[in-house]
């Protein structure tokens, strides 16, 4: 393999470093109007009256959209649970919810028109927190405050607790986190008699297409979703967000409309679920895990978005990669009057691992067992069924964990690194988890071999920064035995490229890559047929090399074969790749693969200020085969850094339904200053994944394991255990005060 496995130059890089690469906000569509949205100032209120007549009369205004204009359609949408109106109808459920939208000749005019819209509200009681949502007789955000619930169990957890020597019960909380992709949500929508076209910053163009077709009553072929370069997603642009609003406004204004959100609007549109997770875990004195009961509550905000899947996946992930004889898991997604929560890199994973891996360390400490040994003792091995009804584990977590331990200098439970400075203490922590990755195996690709021997791969994977365009080209070139420069990739335009479910869940290289490989193989079969006739030789005597089919000493180029077939320098061969749940091989059952999340961290805690510095961070992923190693590392580095953010300081703060920090000054994300001195990514390559050339997806794992690894390191450094994130200096300082003044660790363990 000369092309696959090499850090080749990505085709999108040249566009991007020169500033030529176009994102939706850079596009101009002829006749395009500019849109602004009037947002609700209240988190929960009935809309008594909207008067937009003055706004409509303002010169330069092309159209105003309110609920009134949606009378001819069913205006509710969502990825599964269709609970979100295109624009607020009768009531608002979060501060920032669109109540009216204006399309005008320019942004200034649109802004001026917003000031002329008069809305009268009647305030309703605010469901500010999950506790509010669960209070008996509380007001409800929708019909009820329960959005989704999932439950599974095996063994008999109560009997398991009776068998256990010790029982630990702890509650861990995880904050609301904002994706902050640098490019906020942006869409240009055109609705006319031919149908709908949207130029969209979206991760799942086909799901956007399908939902727009359903909402506006069009057949699928009349809705086109075009996705140019996307300025970061991390889940924030998954499923469907502001597209229906922009299309409805275009319908009203009778011209294309550009709707570009601000950071504040994006932060209120989607975020990560806050969580509260209570784990009751029974173990034997020798450290064997016996039983666990997991109670998860997730705050999905005002609308479900993807909250049902997050609720399920958090439940899937909370037991960790361990073998549990007895297990009970209940997970509830709850509505509150805050901005909606949806997918965010490794959905449900960071919350689950934060609770599980913190508690595993606490158990190790209480039992006097090395935390690494305790994990190794209970881990599932490849081939083990770690979740009943799901595919067996295909990742070697134990090897990964040992690599991380080595990389971060783990020398055992008592072997703390020391620091020279008096007020700082150092510690090392480990954490491991496992994510059920890949979403579902539903992807297609079309590969075209042109008359000159060059090729085009057509896929719907969105180039969101992960490098999919380059990877698909590498896969096609390798399989077709042609030079990389001879392959172009056309992506993410639903009117041109064939179907793909989504860009997310670490699935593109594995599933879309497999579709490209299958498409290339179908072309090779056609080339064999042609060459077999040409050489009058059986297919099994033929081979592929350098854009040619070889028979003994003779060879014929692909270009010559195509020309022979079409009788001149014309025509092309087409290969189809279908990846479905029926595809031969390991794709039967779910997950498509288990993605390991393994992190080791060394920290320094300043006992005077509570400030934590991450000195070293090592993450390990099992990638099967790295198609482009450098960009694979970059994926994990990015995930790890986002993990550092939500561990140390990131948190959207809502008070009575009002978002207090809706901007980048008050909501800080990691900068160059947070880069650990030692920052390493280890990739395990056993060429055993279900994807092309044995690849499997990565890029989500580290974000799930960073927080518990750091908290475990803080515990080793200081003896203080903190169960809430983020680990801000103030929180750490308070815990240190409480922990040292009484001579006890901050949270006593409950023993059975």
DSSP 290-301: EEEEEEEEEEEE
312 binds, among ligand FES, another protein, none (CB under 5 to 8 A by kind): none
Report, in Å, the least distance between residue 421 CB and ligand FES.
34
Distance of CA 615 to the CA centre of its chain: 26
279 binds, among ligand FES, another protein, none (CB under 5 to 8 A by kind): none
Joined tokens for residue 238: 């998954």
Between 144 and 262, whose beta carbon lies closer to another protein? Answer: 262
| 443: Cβ contacts below 8 Å, ≥ 6 apart | 459, 460, 499, 500, 501, 507, 511, 512, 514, 515, 577, 579
Rg of the chain over Cα atoms, rounded to whole angstroms, equals: 27
407 binds, among ligand FES, another protein, none (CB under 5 to 8 A by kind): none
- Per CB under 6 A, does 645 bind ligand FES? no
Report, in Å, the least distance between residue 671 CB and another protein.
5
Question: What is the C-alpha to C-alpha distance for residues 511 and 631, in angstroms, rounded to an integer?
Answer: 18
Report, in Å, the least distance between residue 681 CB and another protein.
8
Question: What is the C-alpha to C-alpha distance for residues 101 and 84, in angstroms, rounded to an integer?
Answer: 16
Question: What is the C-alpha to C-alpha distance for residues 553 and 542, in angstroms, rounded to an integer?
Answer: 11
16 binds, among ligand FES, another protein, none (CB under 5 to 8 A by kind): another protein
- Nearest-CA neighbor of 271 among 307, 313, 223, 320? 307
- Per CB under 8 A, does 640 bind another protein? yes
Residues 69, 83, 97, 183: which binds another protein (CB under 8 A)? Answer: 183
User: Candidates 146-154, 335-343, 671-679, 682-690 — which segment interacts with another protein by CB under 8 A?
Assistant: 671-679
Strand-pair category, 326-335 with 658-659 = unpaired
Residues 25, 41, 232, 392: which binds ligand FES (CB under 6 A)? Answer: 232
Report, in Å, the least distance between residue 240 CB and another protein.
20
Question: What is the C-alpha to C-alpha distance for residues 344 and 342, in angstroms, rounded to an integer?
Answer: 6
By the 10 Å C-beta count (0-12 exposed, 13-18 middle, 19+ buried), 694 is classed as: middle
Judge if the upstream peptide bond of residue 75 is cis by omega within 30 degrees of 0.
Answer: no
- Per CB under 8 A, does 489 bind another protein? no
Give percent helix, percent strand, percent coil of the chain, each to the nearest 5: 30, 30, 40
Interface pattern 490-529 for another protein (x via CB under 8 A):
----------------------------------------
Between 631 and 712, whose beta carbon lies closer to another protein? Answer: 631
- Per CB under 6 A, does 11 bind ligand FES? no
- Per CB under 8 A, does 467 bind another protein? yes
Report, in Å, the least distance between residue 12 CB and another protein.
7
Identify whether the C-beta of residue 661 lies closer than 8 Å to the C-beta of residue 667.
yes
| 221: Cβ contacts below 8 Å, ≥ 6 apart | 195, 495
Between 335 and 649, whose beta carbon lies closer to another protein? Answer: 649
Identify whether the C-beta of residue 700 lies closer than 8 Å to the C-beta of residue 505.
yes
Distance of CA 53 to the CA centre of its chain: 42
Question: What is the C-alpha to C-alpha distance for residues 131 and 141, in angstroms, rounded to an integer?
Answer: 13
Residues 78, 160, 184, 205: which binds another protein (CB under 8 A)? Answer: 184
741 binds, among another protein, ligand FES, none (CB under 5 to 8 A by kind): none
- Per CB under 8 A, does 642 bind another protein? yes
Report, in Å, the least distance between residue 501 CB and ligand FES.
24
User: Candidates 13-21, 126-134, 192-200, 603-611 — which segment interacts with another protein by CB under 8 A?
Assistant: 13-21
651 binds, among ligand FES, another protein, none (CB under 5 to 8 A by kind): none
Report, in Å, the least distance between residue 275 CB and another protein.
22
Question: What is the C-alpha to C-alpha distance for residues 287 and 643, in angstroms, rounded to an integer?
Answer: 29
- Per CB under 6 A, does 14 bind ligand FES? no
Instruction: Give the C-alpha distances (Å, rounded to integers) separating 667 from 123, 305, 645, 650.
Output: 28, 23, 10, 7
Between 17 and 748, whose beta carbon lies closer to another protein? Answer: 17
Residues 287, 350, 465, 519: which binds ligand FES (CB under 6 A)? Answer: 465
- Per CB under 8 A, does 25 bind another protein? yes
- Per CB under 6 A, does 182 bind ligand FES? yes
Identify whether the C-beta of residue 474 lies closer than 8 Å to the C-beta of residue 629.
no
Interface pattern 115-144 for ligand FES (x via CB under 6 A):
------------------------------
* Cβ neighbour number for residue 591 with a 10 Å cutoff: 22
User: Candidates 5-13, 317-325, 550-558, 647-655 — which segment interacts with another protein by CB under 8 A?
Assistant: 5-13
- Per CB under 8 A, does 665 bind another protein? yes
- Per CB under 8 A, does 10 bind another protein? yes
- Per CB under 8 A, does 30 bind another protein? no
Identify whether the C-beta of residue 253 lies closer than 8 Å to the C-beta of residue 102.
no
Question: What is the C-alpha to C-alpha distance for residues 676 and 647, in angstroms, rounded to an integer?
Answer: 14
634 binds, among ligand FES, another protein, none (CB under 5 to 8 A by kind): another protein
Report, in Å, the least distance between residue 147 CB and another protein.
28
- Per CB under 8 A, does 306 bind another protein? no
Please give the residue whose beta carbon sits closest to ligand FES in the complex.
Answer: 182
Question: What is the C-alpha to C-alpha distance for residues 607 and 611, in angstroms, rounded to an integer?
Answer: 8
Identify whether the C-beta of residue 642 lies closer than 8 Å to the C-beta of residue 703.
yes
Question: What is the C-alpha to C-alpha distance for residues 700 and 643, in angstroms, rounded to an integer?
Answer: 10
Residue 61 is inside which H or E element, if any? Answer: strand 61-65
Interface pattern 473-512 for ligand FES (x via CB under 6 A):
----------------------------------------
Q: Summarize as ranges the residues that interact with ligand FES (CB under 6 A).
A: 182, 232, 465
Which stretches of the chain bind another protein, using CB under 8 A?
A: 7, 9-10, 12-23, 25-26, 179-184, 229-234, 262-263, 464-467, 630-631, 633-635, 637-642, 663-665, 669-673, 675, 679
């Amino acid at each position: 393999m000369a092309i696959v496995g090499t850090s080749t130059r990505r085709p999108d890089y040249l566009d991007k470093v020169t500033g030529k690469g176009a994102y939706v906000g850079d596009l101009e569509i002829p006749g395009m109007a500019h849109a602004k949205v009037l947002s609700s100032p209240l988190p929960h209120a009935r809309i008594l009256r909207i008067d937009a007549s003055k706004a409509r009369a303002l010169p330069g205004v092309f159209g105003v959209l309110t609920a009134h204009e949606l009378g001819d359609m069913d205006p509710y949408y969502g990825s599964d649970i269709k609970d979100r109106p295109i624009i607020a109808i009768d009531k608002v459920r979060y501060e920032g919810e669109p109540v009216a939208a204006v399309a005008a000749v320019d942004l200034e005019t649109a802004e001026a028109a917003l000031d002329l819209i008069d809305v009268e509200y009647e305030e309703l009681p605010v469901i500010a927190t999950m506790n509010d949502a669960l209070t008996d007789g509380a007001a409800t955000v929708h019909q009820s405050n329960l959005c989704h619930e999932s439950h599974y169990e095996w063994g008999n957890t109560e009997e398991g607790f009776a068998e256990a020597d010790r029982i630990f019960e702890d509650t861990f909380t995880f904050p609301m986190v904002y994706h902050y992709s640098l490019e906020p949500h942006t869409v240009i929508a055109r609705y006319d008699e031919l149908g709908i076209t949207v130029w969209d910053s979206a991760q799942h163009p086909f799901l956007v297409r399908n939902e727009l077709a359903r909402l506006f009553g069009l057949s699928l072929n009349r809705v086109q979703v075009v996705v140019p370069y996307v300025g970061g997603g991390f889940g924030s642009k998954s499923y469907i967000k502001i597209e229906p609003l922009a299309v409805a406004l275009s319908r009203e204004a009778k011209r294309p409309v550009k709707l570009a959100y601000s950071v504040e609007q994006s932060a209120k549109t989607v975020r990560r679920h806050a969580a509260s997770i209570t784990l009751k875990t029974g173990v034997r004195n020798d450290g064997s895990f016996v039983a666990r009961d997991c109670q998860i509550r997730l705050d999905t905000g005002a609308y479900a978005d993807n909250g049902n899947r997050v609720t399920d996946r958090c439940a899937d992930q909370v037991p960790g990669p361990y073998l549990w004889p007895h297990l009970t898991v209940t997970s509830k997604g709850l509505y509150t009057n805050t901005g909606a929560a949806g997918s965010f890199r490794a959905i449900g994973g960071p919350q689950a691992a934060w609770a599980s891996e913190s508690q595993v360390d606490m158990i190790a400490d209480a039992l006097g067992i090395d935390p690494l040994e305790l994990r190794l003792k209970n881990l599932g091995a490849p081939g083990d069924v770690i979740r009943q009804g799901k595919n067996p584990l295909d990742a070697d977590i134990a090897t990964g964990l040992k690599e991380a331990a080595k990389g971060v200098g783990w020398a055992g439970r008592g072997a703390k690194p020391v620091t020279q400075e008096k007020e700082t203490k150092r510690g090392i922590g480990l954490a491991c988890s496992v994510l059920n990755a890949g979403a579902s195996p539903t992807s297609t690709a079309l590969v075209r071999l042109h008359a000159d021997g060059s090729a085009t791969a057509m896929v719907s994977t969105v180039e969101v920064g992960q490098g999919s365009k380059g990877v698909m080209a590498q896969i096609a070139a390798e399989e077709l035995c042609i030079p990389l420069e001879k392959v172009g990739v056309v992506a993410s335009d639903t009117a041109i490229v064939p179907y793909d479910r989504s860009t997310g869940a670490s699935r593109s290289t594995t599933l879309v890559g497999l579709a490209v490989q299958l498409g290339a193989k179908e072309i090779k079969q056609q080339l064999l047929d042609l060459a077999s006739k040409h050489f009058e030789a059986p297919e099994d005597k033929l081979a592929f090399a350098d854009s040619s089919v070889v028979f003994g000493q003779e060879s014929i180029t692909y270009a010559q074969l195509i020309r022979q077939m079409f009788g001149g320098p014309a025509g092309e061969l087409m290969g189809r790749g279908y990846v479905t749940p029926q595809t031969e091989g390991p794709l039967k059952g779910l997950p498509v693969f288990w993605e390991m999340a393994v992190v080791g961290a060394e920290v320094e805690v300043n006992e005077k200020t509570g400030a934590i510095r991450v000195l070293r961070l090592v993450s390990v992923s099992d990638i099967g085969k790295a198609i482009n190693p450098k960009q694979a590392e970059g994926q994990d580095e990015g995930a790890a850094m986002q993990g550092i953010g939500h561990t140390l300081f990131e948190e959207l703060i809502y008070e009575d339904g009002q978002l207090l920090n809706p901007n980048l000054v008050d909501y800080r994300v990691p900068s160059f200053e947070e880069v650990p001195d030692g920052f390493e990514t280890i990739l395990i390559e056993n060429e055993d994944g279900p994807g092309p050339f044995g690849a499997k997806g990565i890029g989500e794992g580290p974000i799930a394991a960073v927080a518990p690894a750091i908290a475990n390191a803080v515990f080793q450094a200081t003896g203080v255990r903190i169960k809430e994130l983020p680990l801000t200096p103030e929180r750490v300082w308070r815990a240190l005060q409480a922990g040292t003044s009484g001579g006890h660790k901050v949270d006593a363990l409950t023993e059975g």
